[in-house]
Structure 1
Amino acid sequence: MGAAGRLIVKRYRLVRALGRGRTGVVWEGHDTLLDRPVAVREVLLPPGLGETARLRLVHRIAREARQAEALRHPHIAAVHDVAEEDGTPYIVMELVRSRSLDGMVAGDGPLTPAQAAPIARKVLSALAHAHAAGVRHGDVRPANVLVGHDGRVLLADFGVSVLAADPAFAPTRRDPAAVPSAASPTAASPAAVPVRRDPEDFLAPERSADDPRTIAADLWSLGATLHLAVTGRPPSQPLGEVPEELRAVLTGLLARDPRRRIDAETADRLLAEAEPPAPAPPVRRSLGRTRLVAGVAAAVLVACAVGGWAVLRPGAEGRAASPVTTPMASSSAPASPTVSPAGPAAVPVTGSATPAPRLKLKWYRSDAGWRAGVPRDWTREDQPYTVAWRAPDGAATLVVEVTAQSGTDPLAALGEAEAIFLPTAKSYRKLRLKPVTSPYGPSADWEFTWKPRKASEGDHLVKGVGYHQYRRVISTGTTTSVLTWTARASDWDALRPTLVKVFSLFQPPATS
């Protein structure tokens, strides 16, 4: 068994154990290569397992984890890597600062239908995405539904759930399930209830006959999870204790015959009927992450190419800034990709080996405390929540948004934005989506090319034309900054030196 401080495959350092179940131990870890926190599941193989059986099981775990690595969805806890050391498999996952659903019920009591329905819909959307990719979860249960401290809802343990019904891990006693969450234990409230966490309680009836994992089985497990969320207990027949608002969806999901079970689309419609209506958006106030994600999807986010960062708009700070037009020191010499001491990570240099001349820049200082070096001859446009600069010929746009939102996970936010953006794009090609080092706080970059499916005159996008975008998210102790640089693909190499300099000069508001 691993120990705190141990380095796995010369990269992942185990920090502290977060939980233990019959299949292994979940650790808080640190990725020393990318300098980021991760969750590491150490799979403890059953003692006495023969060599052939052990190799077959290890290969199966690796295969399932590799499939899960390809899943990218705002409500799926990402699988980053799978490794093996000294014969023990390790699965490296996104570390989610959160509480598990069963932990919430145990500590605070059952949820109301209005609270549970939105959580179930998000888990259902994660399952639908995985099912469309040919991946089955196989172990949907309350311990694997995580509600983040930032409000995100994530389904965890893709790539690990293959162990749930494996006979090699058949329990000899009742073990509490390991919860891959960094949430601290909370004191029980007066409404607290004893919560059974046995994985078998959430496996579809047909799974007991060693049937393969199926879409219908995952949907039954979602129903069982929802049942526990609103009653504090795994499902039983009849469903007399289930709130009336959820009676129809739970009856459909928990049908014992898989052929009579409702599908995901029907379940989502029934859950939506139990979900409270979204409140009207307040004026110049915090809009809330979940509602905004839905709003961005409804608007198709054509403005993504111009940089409107609707996913992270809790306020409107920085809209009434005035520029300082004193020219910055600049020259027509080729720009160096090296970042200035005050700036974040450099934009990786790709494209032409000989950089084009850099545009002349000027300082822009915001009343909200941030400042940016922007192309001198570009036109400034003050938009709701953002400040944008456009090239005279419409070839490129720079958008800056700074909001009073703390605790943002830049990589997760960009992954969420990607999932929303994909339906609007043709010929999408992701060039990078990864964390970067910044002196200001956690940061991540997303670079991609695409063609808009629709023209947008206001956003200067032309249907069928190739575009190239680079986006950076910087999270400080008090703010989130988003820089978005968009250019026609044909102009990208000529403008890249200016992009490098602009990103290196940006300074978010000073933390108080």
Structure 2
Amino acid sequence: MGAAGQLIVKRYRLVRALGQGSMGIVWEGHDTLLDRAVAVRQVLLPPELREGRRAELAQRLAREARQAERLRHPHIAAVHDVAEEDGTTYIVMELVRSRSLDGVVASEGPLAPERAAAIARNVLSALTYAHASGVRHGDVRPANILIGHDGRVLLADFGTGALAADPAFGRSGPERSPAHGNPVSATRGASAFLAPERSGGAAPTAASDLWSLGATLHLALTARPPGTAPQDVPGPLGTVMRGLLAKEPRRRLSPEAAEHALAELQVAAPVPASPAGRSRTRLIAGIAAAVLVAGAVGGWAILRPGSGTAVSRTPLAATISPSASPSPTPSKKPAKPLKLKSYRSPAGWRASAPSAWTRRPTDSGIRWYDPRSGAQLTVEVIAQAGTDPLKELSDGQVSLRPTMTAYRKIRLKETPSKYGTAADWEFTWTQRRSQAYLAKGVTYHQYRRIIATESTTSVLTWTTTADQWDRLRPTLVKSLSLFTPPAIG
């Protein structure tokens, strides 16, 4: 049994227990080598198992976890490492500040169809990616779907889920949610979400993962697992759920058909209002459905409306490319950048923003805001490796466009960066409906940059009303040039 303060393989320090389930204890840990918070699953095998059986399970766990290490997707809680100490297996994972989906349903009741559809689509994208990589999850259920405090949706427990149906882990006793440490009812344990063909301990398949997703969707919509008589859910989302819950694997809805149906439901759904007490709407930019990490990382800057709607026609690229120069209107002097003030985050990244702007923390970074013009700079950094910046921004464009009027892409392309891979997305749009500080009918101009290093993903988002863009553009160029991510800062 582990203990707080214990150092595993001279690298991972156990900080505090987060919860206990049938497969062991989940700890908050600290990676002393990379100086980052992690989650550490201490796998506890039943003591009565024969030595040969224990060795077999330990080998399976290590093999499954090593396969899961290859997965880097915005809706998958990453597996960082597998370690063994004194005969005990430890799986080191991304630590996600979150609530589990079953906890959300338990406290809030059944979800609205559009919210359930968005979550299901994110999880489906994670499964589709994993299946294409040759990895099966095996334990898709609400307890393993995390709703991050930053808005991300992640599927957790890759690497251990494949053993969820093994009789060795069918011990009695209450299971506790790793997110809260609260007892989980038997109807929300692993067995309630296993496909019929896995009831005898069969290995997971892509089809069985899809059945479990359907069972999870059932709970999200009805607050209970499907059992032997699934509750009827009307409408298109009910059709998707029933298609995934088909008893015969070959009759189940294909992932392509499910993705198409869920995407249509999302596009048809109204834009959700901002949660009470929050002053922004988040864009999850791809990092798959759009978050970055997407999933989403990435903030959607919120502005007070400006007085005009003229769109700047000069792309920011002209001001940062060494081979090009801006072409200002001859009758106007080029705008000068505002005075900047440097800021160093406790997480190690550095940014510079106008000294007169107001600084406020966000879930995963800092937002600077000008109360006079409504302009904002948001910097968000997460511990996520393997991000494809261009793909995340491209996915974000697909997800965002249905919420806009008069969208115009100015640039969407990779950009050179001495810190890693990077991409830029610049665009304008007219707000379709008033929401938080976004005003209906006002045209906005946004520039977003994603920088991916070996261990982090940084999202820089600069937004102004269109009539303020030219005046503030030189400040943006200077601010972008001064940013350094954690690995460098």
| TM bracket (short chain) | 0.5 to 0.7
- Cα pair distance change 1:296/1:321, threshold 3 Å: farther
CA distance in 2, matches of 1:215, 1:20: 27
CA distance in 2, matches of 1:242, 1:49: 43
- The offset of 1:32, in angstroms, is 1.3
CA distance in 1, matches of 2:9, 2:61: 17
- The offset of 1:256, in angstroms, is 0.7
- Cα pair distance change 1:225/1:449, threshold 3 Å: closer
- Cα pair distance change 1:149/1:325, threshold 3 Å: closer
- Cα pair distance change 1:342/1:289, threshold 3 Å: closer
Per-residue Cα deviation, 1:232-253 (whole angstroms, up to 9, x for no partner): 2111344344343422112111
Partner of 2:208: 217
- 1:139 maps to a residue whose letter is D
Is the Cα contact below 8 Å between 2:193 and 2:212 reproduced in 1? yes
Structure 1 stretches lacking a partner, 5+ long: 187-192, 298-308, 327-339, 348-362, 371-384, 387-400, 433-444, 457-468, 484-498, 507-512
- The offset of 1:110, in angstroms, is 1.6
- The offset of 1:345, in angstroms, is 6.1
- Cα pair distance change 1:364/1:72, threshold 3 Å: closer
Is the Cα contact below 8 Å between 1:344 and 1:503 reproduced in 2? no
Partner of 1:272: 263
- Cα pair distance change 1:448/1:21, threshold 3 Å: same
- 1:288 maps to 2:282: yes
- The offset of 1:130, in angstroms, is 0.4
- Cα pair distance change 1:321/1:145, threshold 3 Å: farther
Q: Aligned to 1:415, what secondary structure does the other structure show? A: coil
Partner of 1:368: 357
The 5-angstrom pairing of residues 349-388 of structure 1 reads 367-368=356-357
Is the Cα contact below 8 Å between 1:24 and 1:44 reproduced in 2? yes
Is the Cα contact below 8 Å between 1:446 and 1:470 reproduced in 2? yes
Identity of aligned residues (%): 50
Q: Aligned to 2:337, what secondary structure does the other structure show? A: strand
CA distance in 2, matches of 1:274, 1:341: 42
Q: RMSD of the alignment, in Å? A: 4.9
CA distance in 2, matches of 1:97, 1:310: 13
- 1:270 maps to a residue whose letter is A
Per-residue Cα deviation, 1:268-304 (whole angstroms, up to 9, x for no partner): 223334435353999xx9442237877979xxxxxxx
- Cα pair distance change 1:207/1:324, threshold 3 Å: closer
Partner of 2:199: 208
- 1:122 maps to a residue whose letter is N
- 2:117 maps to a residue whose letter is A
Partner of 2:132: 132
Structure 2 stretches lacking a partner, 5+ long: 305-315, 317-333, 360-367, 370-374, 397-412, 427-449, 463-478
CA distance in 1, matches of 2:256, 2:459: 35
- The offset of 1:341, in angstroms, is 9.9
Partner of 2:382: 410
CA distance in 2, matches of 1:413, 1:69: 11
Is the Cα contact below 8 Å between 2:9 and 2:84 reproduced in 1? yes
- TM-score normalised per structure 2: 0.65
The 5-angstrom pairing of residues 14-33 of structure 1 reads 14-33=14-33
- The offset of 1:167, in angstroms, is 2.3
The 5-angstrom pairing of residues 488-503 of structure 1 reads 502=482
Partner of 1:329: none
Partner of 2:465: none
Deviates more, 1:81-90 or 1:231-240: 231-240
Is the Cα contact below 8 Å between 1:73 and 1:416 reproduced in 2? no
CA distance in 2, matches of 1:164, 1:75: 21
- 1:314 maps to 2:301: yes
2:337 corresponds, among 323, 328, 340, to: 323
CA distance in 2, matches of 1:137, 1:23: 15
- 1:111 maps to a residue whose letter is L
The 5-angstrom pairing of residues 51-66 of structure 1 reads 51-66=51-66
